């Protein structure tokens, strides 16, 4: 059969998952070698066991049609930074990103994602219909309170065109959430959903903590959730203070309050109101600064179509 002539890179994030690595690498080599004339595999070692690296070397050493690279991180730095390291040395016209080696999909989905990219999509995600409850909540909040071109989701792997990779490089790569960079790139994206054929895999505590921290950082950086929460609390405080003020004045008029009680209550009420209002203003200013520093782009072009 005729093989695709586009050069393909596959960046694979490798961490503590010895049981799945052999199955993943063999299946990946099979689909890539069958479909593509030239390809490379870049394994990003983010502090995993030496046994896993030996298994990878043993498998890829028998593959003659592809070049393979192992990027050894100096220490555990997390998926976001490590995948950037692998992406920086990838030279493919299209680049696959595998941040998990747990295959819960038909291996031909890798080819389907590539074909979808050839339809003019610079970013194509493969997403399982099964998601963790916490992931569903996070993405629902993120997509609701961000103004990105397309909605992000919990993807298993994705493919990027060279244009998407160049666009990422022109944006701020210090942002701790790569999905947000892609969603804010202004390029055409698509998603293929599949039915997972495996049970949900248990996530180790290190990766779980990283995801939690990235989720909090992303909500602050890319959404107005913090401002909304602050505004709601301020509004609730204003209503509470109004009630307290009415009650305080009523007691002063018809009751016999302790000397100085009315003054103290009114002072505390308006003082707390001022504090919450100040916090709201500060959060709004910080949101504006973040927007200017991280998300400032003069203009974004999806494509240029030549008529004649």
Most confident range, picked from 23-32, 61-70, 171-180:
23-32
Q: 288 vs 230, which has greater pLDDT?
A: 230
Statement to judge: residues 111 and 182 lie in one domain: yes
* Predicted pLDDT of residue 126: 94
> Which among 199, 222, 245 is the end of a domain?
222
pLDDT at 73 over 80: yes
| pLDDT above 50 for 302 | no
Judge if 134 and 171 occupy the same domain: yes
Does the pLDDT value for residue 306 go beyond 60? no
In a domain, 120, yes or no: yes
- DSSP SS3 for 93: coil
- Do 246 and 138 share a structural domain? no
CA torsion 169-292-158-143 (nearest 10°) is 180
Specify if 302 maps to a domain: no
Is the CB of residue 207 less than 8 Å from the CB of residue 101? Answer: no
The reported pTM is 0.76
187 alpha-carbon distance from chain centroid: 16
Say if 308 falls within a structural domain.
no
The string of DSSP letters for 144-161 reads: HH---SS----EEEEEEE
Which residue has tokens 């993120």?
142
Q: The domain spanning residue 184 has which CATH number?
A: 3.90.550.10
pLDDT recorded at residue 111: 96
More confident residue, 306 or 265: 265
Whether residue 266 sits in one domain with residue 213: no
Is there a domain that residue 129 lies in? yes
pLDDT of residue 141: 86
Mean pLDDT to the nearest integer, 125-143: 86
- Interatomic CA distance for residues 220 and 145, integer angstroms: 10
Q: Between residues 67 and 234, which one has the greater pLDDT? A: 67
pLDDT of 298 reads 46
Q: Final residue of a domain: which of 222, 243, 268? A: 222
Same domain, yes or no: 148 and 50? yes
Contact at 8 Å (CB) between 46 and 76? yes
Separation of alpha carbons 303 and 253, rounded Å: 71
Check whether 297 has a pLDDT greater than 50: no
Q: What are the strands of the beta sheet with 94-98, ordered from one edge? A: 66-72, 39-45, 8-14, 94-98, 155-161, 123-128, 189-194
- 36 plus 168 within the same structural domain: yes
The proportion of the chain whose per-residue pLDDT surpasses 70, expressed as a percent, equals 79
Mean pLDDT of 278-287: 69
User: Between the CA atoms of 270, 275, 278 and 284, what dihedral angle is there, to the nearest 10 degrees?
Assistant: -120
Structural domain count, the chain: 2
173 & 253 share domain: no
The domain boundary residue, chosen from 175, 206, 222: 222
Query: Are 217 and 233 in a shared domain?
Result: no
Measured CA to CA, the distance from residue 90 to residue 84 in angstroms comes to 10
- CA dist., res. 73 & res. 44, Å (int): 7
CA angle centred on 47, ends 135 and 132, rounded to 5°: 10
> What CA–CA distance (Å, rounded) separates 234 from 277?
6
pLDDT of 303 reads 39
- Top pLDDT among 275 and 10 is at 10
Residue 293 confidence class, pLDDT cut points 50, 70, 90: low
Q: How far is residue 117's CA from residue 1's CA, in Å, rounded to a whole number?
A: 21
Range of the domain at 290: 225-294
3-state secondary structure of 79: helix
pLDDT-derived band at 218 (thresholds 50, 70, 90) equals: confident
Identify the pLDDT of residue 80.
Answer: 83
Give yes or no: residues 242 and 217 share one domain.
Answer: no
């Amino acid at each position: 059969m005729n093989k695709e002539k586009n050069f393909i890179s596959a960046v694979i994030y490798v961490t503590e998952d010895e049981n799945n690595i052999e199955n993943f690498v063999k299946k990946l080599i099979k689909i890539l070698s069958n479909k593509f004339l030239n390809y490379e595999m870049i394994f990003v070692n983010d502090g995993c066991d030496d046994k896993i690296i030996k298994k990878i070397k043993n498998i890829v050493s028998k593959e003659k049609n592809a070049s393979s690279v192992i990027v050894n991180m100096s220490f555990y730095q997390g998926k976001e930074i490590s995948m950037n390291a692998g992406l920086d040395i990838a030279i493919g016209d299209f680049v696959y990103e595998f941040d998990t080696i747990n295959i819960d999909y038909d291996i031909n989905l890798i080819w389907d994602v590539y074909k979808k990219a050839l339809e003019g999509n610079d970013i194509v995600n493969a997403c399982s219909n099964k998601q963790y409850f916490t992931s569903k909540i996070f993405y629902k909040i993120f997509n609701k309170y961000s103004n990105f071109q397309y909605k992000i989701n919990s993807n298993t792997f994705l493919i990027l065109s060279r244009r998407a990779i160049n666009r990422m490089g022109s944006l701020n790569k210090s942002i701790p959430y790569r999905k947000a960079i892609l969603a804010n790139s202004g390029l055409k994206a698509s998603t293929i959903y599949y039915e997972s054929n495996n049970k949900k895999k248990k996530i180790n505590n290190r990766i779980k903590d990283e995801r939690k921290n990235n989720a909090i950082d992303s909500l602050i950086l890319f959404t107005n959730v913090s401002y909304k929460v602050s505004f709601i609390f301020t509004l609730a405080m204003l209503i509470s203070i109004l009630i307290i003020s009415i009650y305080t004045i009523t007691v002063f008029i018809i009751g016999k309050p302790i000397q100085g009680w009315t003054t103290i209550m009114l002072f505390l009420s308006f003082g707390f109101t001022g504090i919450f209002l100040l916090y709201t203003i500060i959060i709004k200013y910080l949101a504006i600064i973040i927007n200017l520093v991280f998300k400032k782009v003069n203009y974004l072009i999806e494509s240029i179509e030549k008529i004649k």
